[in-house]
Structure 1
């Protein structure tokens, strides 16, 4: 539900912009308003999860997230929608990174990339759900009702979480302190060269890879004038590519290794972004976005696996810093790339994203030999 809510606006940017009488670039502020606090609050939830229990923190987060998401259905203007997306992003931040940290606590490193790959399949189902339902609601009902549906469904999930926490023994706090002491683990982590390398890479990935994807739906609408339901189905190909990765991850890791996954995945993503500018027919977006999803997961899951090993004694903190930079990059990227879209067009945006992701893949793959040393 968290990943579905995060990506549901991708096929709806144009229709929301029309509803509020503004541009796609301005409307993309609802993406930044969600992703920047989503990243920022990782810095709080990571140490908190390490201290009082990951599942307990996730339970509170999903509960408040559900309420905020439902309220998005009733906003009268764009500024209020931006505010609510900011608030839901704050509490959604408690869920996915702490889940990944939990996997890191319970799977040895040799099995972890496969476990994370399978976990990502659930996120990809959320991606497919959000894009498909977003298109259906945008075409036949209203973009507002999709937020109400997601909010109610998330509240049902929250109830299940609350029941699960009743069986967890109380975990007393072992640390106290002010904001500066809470930030100390992050400052210590960033003294490690391996951490700086992974964090820098994921920020760049968020900026160009995820930031650029936000505009593909609006590009398809403006250039091919397709119904929103068709756009939603096309964008769900990103999740299908993720599912393809999740069922083949073990074989891919064996054949390519981590360095090969980054290199092949990043070059595949870069090629897909560049091809958007020359596709003669919208039909070609079907395989194109699926391959984009495959390459994205090959690259991102490797970065994510490296993040779980940056600080084995406090994985919640390490993964939260990783997620903070991913979504900070995505939030800033959506704003900057939105200006490019409004001023020079979609194709310039996708060319920049394609080149940047390909260069990132080559650079990080070449730097990976230093990770084990540091």
Structure 2
């Protein structure tokens, strides 16, 4: 929801867009670091308590963000919100690993990441529309209110969704030893490094697409929101199907295609074609995410029986990638916005070539 309103926040707080853009990596880096704590906790104490705590932190701190009076205050609160909310993604992925066998996990994770991409798309439009009509504060307060509704639903259905046997009790030190053991497995390490890269690539590009449409096509916040709507459409509509394709044809084929799709989308965005073409490239950028991230997650759920630790590392690398990618783009964007898009795309093309060899043994 933040990407489309960066120019508006910059004007409101009399700061540069580059300064304002740091509210995104602040949240994402906080989220990524926190996953290392929440993942083993979900193994030790169960999935539901961690979800309950993280959702509660997210609601309270998101509501507080609406009262900020400066960008620096917002950056700090977004960091704290990320730390508080960091248990949601790894715990949910761990829950999917508990419930679905590997041959069906691609479908389930396709739904999960499709909803994530769909949320990004809907958030982009909803955030822009709310800000244009009611102000940026109402955007954060509305998100907090929606969080309350979701939390109530989770509590009401907790007995059906979460069970005591979700947890695997062990010492906290044992959990962190598991991180080291899982990461140093060759299959796990190579997948985590691609998760890190994928997070950096997609976050870096998407974080600046709002300003891209503002600068290159002079769109206002509402129009930017609609332009970014295409980012989540492939995942929202095709997520389960893409997961089934991976289950049927193999992750070794789909992953390189997904990386290349995202890379070419970023390069074409940097070439600054027509507005309609750029909206299409936003959708294909999203398709690249949907063809890779759920597949990485499916692989990770098989590297160790300790799914909380394995998925915790997955979420850590993913959200640290999100944070570092957004931060890196902000640091080098002064070389030129379009040029930075093309630079990220070029790195993606190289990664696609490496992925062909790296994942050739995956099914």
* TM-score using structure 1 length: 0.91
Q: 2:149 aligns with which of 152, 156, 175?
A: 156
Answer yes or no: is 1:328 the counterpart of 2:320.
yes
Answer yes or no: is 1:232 the counterpart of 2:225.
yes
Distance 1:256 1:289, change over 3 A: farther
**Stretch of structure 1 that moved more, 51-60 or 137-146:** 137-146
Q: 1:49 aligns with which of 30, 42, 62?
A: 42
Answer yes or no: is 1:75 the counterpart of 2:85.
no
Partner secondary structure for residue 202 of structure 1 = helix
CA contact (8 A) 2:7 2:211 kept: yes
Show the counterpart of 1:40: 33
Show the counterpart of 1:64: 57
Show the counterpart of 1:368: 359
Deviations 1:207-241 (A, max 9, x none): 22222210111011012111211111111211102
* TM-score using structure 2 length: 0.93
Distance 2:93 2:230 in 1: 23
Q: 1:27 aligns with which of 20, 23, 38?
A: 20
Distance 1:266 1:226 in 2: 29
Partner secondary structure for residue 21 of structure 1 = coil
Distance 1:107 1:153 in 2: 28
Show the counterpart of 2:105: 112
Distance 1:359 1:58 in 2: 37
CA contact (8 A) 2:131 2:138 kept: no
Show the counterpart of 2:215: 222
Q: How many residues align?
A: 361
Deviations 1:250-273 (A, max 9, x none): 563367421221121111111110
Show the counterpart of 1:314: 306
- 1:370 offset after TM fit, Å? 4.8
Distance 2:153 2:19 in 1: 37
Answer yes or no: is 1:175 the counterpart of 2:170.
yes
Q: 1:338 aligns with which of 330, 345, 352?
A: 330
- 1:26 offset after TM fit, Å? 1.4
Deviations 1:8-66 (A, max 9, x none): 11111111122111222211111111001111111111111111111221011101111
Distance 2:301 2:168 in 1: 23
CA contact (8 A) 1:42 1:323 kept: yes
- 1:333 offset after TM fit, Å? 1.9
Show the counterpart of 2:140: 147
- 1:100 offset after TM fit, Å? 1.4
- 1:175 offset after TM fit, Å? 2.6
Show the counterpart of 2:77: 84
CA contact (8 A) 1:137 1:146 kept: yes
- Name stretches of at least 5 consecutive residues in structure 2 with no aligned partner: none
